[in-house]
Amino acid sequence: MNDQRNKTPQLIILSGKGGTGKTSISAGLVHLWHQQNSTGRLTVVDADVDAANLNLLLNSETLAKHEFWSSSCAQIDPENCAGCGDCIAVCRYDAIFSDSPEAVTRRVDPIACDGCAACVYACGRKAIRMISQLDGHWLHSRGDYGMLFHAELLPGKENSGKLVSLIKQKAQKWAEVVNSPLMIIDGPPGIGCPVISACSGTDLALLITEPGLAGLHDLQRIYATLKHFKIPAILCINKADLYPQGTLELESYAQHESIKLVTKIPFDPNVHQAVRAGMPLTAYAPTSAAAQSVITIMDEVLRWMASRA
């Protein structure tokens, strides 16, 4: 129980749909925290490991880069392969093939291989073994506004969920050591494996959506996912004035589900320009309409933290 009380609270930013502004808002919150509470050591995690962009706004300096070895891939020893085809028969991923109809030995397509090792056990000549794969790197960086834990999945690799779990674990350890008051997690899009890993252990989700049929549809799916894992959520509608009818529909959905709507962010070209400048919006254009909305979100986060204490 004691552990639970001392655990750093975790806020995750999610959306379902991609490109709704998760990273811009995350960077704004990180910057505001630093501005308002420069002694508190924030823990920041970028959990979108196959499109990790938060670092581009936080201007951080990498302290350490570690290899992430996780998946494995079958390899057939051509000297030993008799071409019986038993491996092909068990492979459900169509990953084993012959170079030509005349070729005796088989080969593995590393891109198709799922790493299940069924072929290894099926091969009577023990000609197949599993080779570990470097799937990416995880990094720990000191930014202008706090410690950032992030990762780079190598293109096309698997186990993004495991990589997310790993950086969250590392972040949590650091948070404990420095008694960090808050962890902010910039989440991945979608509702699958990396999202589920990123959500694990979080205390509040800030959902960023945008008006329109797609925004609403994906909001419903991410909210259902959060409900399944019993994670409370608050909502923010980005670019709310671009399609007012859609904003009304989102508001009515939020009301129906009793999700607190924290703020509506108007479309603001400063958001785009801040990304181009590589700065958090709240630092780039502190008086802009969108930055004011991020301040409203920060106030809500602070209230939530106070209510937990």
Chain residues binding other proteins by CB under 8 A are: 16-20, 23, 48-53, 56, 72, 90, 92-93, 111-112, 114-118, 121-122, 130, 153-158, 160-161, 188-196, 210-215, 217-218, 221, 224-225, 228-229, 239, 242-243, 245-246, 267, 272, 275-276, 278
Nearer of residues 189 and 280 to other proteins, judged by Cβ: 189
The SS3 assignment for 44 reads strand
Nearer of residues 160 and 288 to other proteins, judged by Cβ: 160
- We find the least distance from the C-beta atom of residue 72 to other proteins, in angstroms, to be 7
Nearer of residues 175 and 199 to other proteins, judged by Cβ: 199
Say if residues 70 and 133 touch (Cβ distance below 8 Å): yes
Q: Which amino acid is residue 182, in one-letter code?
A: L
- Residue bearing tokens 């800030």: 206
Query: Residue 13 to residues 5, 6, 10, 25, 136: CA-CA distances in angstroms?
Result: 22, 22, 10, 8, 23
- We find the least distance from the C-beta atom of residue 205 to other proteins, in angstroms, to be 15
- We find the least distance from the C-beta atom of residue 50 to other proteins, in angstroms, to be 4
The SS3 assignment for 148 reads strand
- We find the least distance from the C-beta atom of residue 177 to other proteins, in angstroms, to be 29
Nearer of residues 164 and 262 to other proteins, judged by Cβ: 164
- We find the least distance from the C-beta atom of residue 103 to other proteins, in angstroms, to be 20
Calculate the CA 183 to chain-centre distance: 14
200 CB-near residues (< 8 Å, 6+ apart): 165, 168, 229
Which among 180, 226, 206 is positioned nearest to 11, based on CA atoms? 206
Nearer of residues 186 and 288 to other proteins, judged by Cβ: 186
Which among 190, 254, 242, 233 is positioned nearest to 211, based on CA atoms? 242
- We find the least distance from the C-beta atom of residue 117 to other proteins, in angstroms, to be 5
Nearer of residues 41 and 264 to other proteins, judged by Cβ: 264
Task: Determine the Cα–Cα distance for residues 20 and 212; give it in Å rounded to an integer.
Answer: 11
